[in-house]
Structure 1
Amino acid sequence: MKNHFRKKTAVLSLLAVILLGGTAISPKQAQASPEPYIGEITMYPYTYAPKGWIKCEGQLLDISQNSVLFSLLGTNFGGDGVRTFALPDLRGASPLPNVNYYIATEGPYPSRP
């Protein structure tokens, strides 16, 4: 059980470093926003993706239709970098049953500190 938790923590830390350009934010520094930043990852207890979100299942997306999200993720999780890129695959990483990770596909571009 501890190894599973450590794996999840490592995956989330890696995502924070990648998405924030090498700077991890501690939970005490994080602030909720009324609108998610594009590329923000959160958990929802839904069987469907809410509007503006996609489940993080490692699927390939078209760069031409998701250019802003591609500018944040690049090919860190897969894709050819010409026509496609992949989302992180966080299936099975949720600490709760029936809760999944979703990534925001809409919203303001995150600024760098």
Structure 2
Amino acid sequence: MKNHFWKKAAVLSLLAVILLGGTAISPKQAHAGYEPYIGEITVYPYMFAPKGWLKCEGQLLSISQNTALFSLLGTNFGGDGMSTFALPDLRGASPLPNVNYYIATEGVYPSRP
């Protein structure tokens, strides 16, 4: 009977956290953010690019404003290599409707092994 009480209390506590929009993570853990690698590509179900990310739509970028990303991508996806380079064009490759590919323009520069 006592064991059943604790199970019920745990379920009710979890339900309260979900319904009230709280978190079971401590504030210190909640602020320990994930920092992507520059050039990392991922999918997001957003209609906008989050800060530090751009949609992978083959657009031309300025090398002088994106030197770290250019050092990783070069002209593999286009651009003149003097003043511009291009991002990969992944339009139409979405795994689901309203999900797009994004590339990190800010973050940790990947080290070589």
Q: TM-score, normalised by structure 2?
A: 0.70
Percentage identity across aligned positions? Answer: 85
- Residue 103 (structure 1) shift: 0.2
In structure 2, the gaps of 5 or more residues are 1-32
Quote the residue 1:6 is aligned against: none
Higher helix share: 2
Q: Distance in 2 between matches of 1:58 and 1:52?
A: 17
Q: Distance in 2 between matches of 1:46 and 1:92?
A: 15
SS of residue matched to 1:43: strand
Runs of 4+ in 1 over 4 A off after TM superposition: none
- Residue 34 (structure 1) shift: 1.5
In structure 1, the gaps of 5 or more residues are 1-32
| 1:107 aligns to 2:104 (yes or no) | no
SS of residue matched to 1:85: strand
SS of residue matched to 2:68: helix
| 1:50 aligns to 2:54 (yes or no) | no
- Residue 94 (structure 1) shift: 1.1
SS of residue matched to 1:102: strand
Q: Distance in 2 between matches of 1:70 and 1:89?
A: 15
Matches within 5 A, 1:23-102: 34-102=34-102
CA RMSD, aligned part only? 1.0
Q: Which has the larger radius of gyration?
A: 2
- Residue 60 (structure 1) shift: 0.2
String of CA shifts for 1:45-104, please: whole Å, max 9, x gaps.
000000000000000000000010000000000000000000000001011110000000
Q: Distance in 2 between matches of 1:95 and 1:108?
A: 26
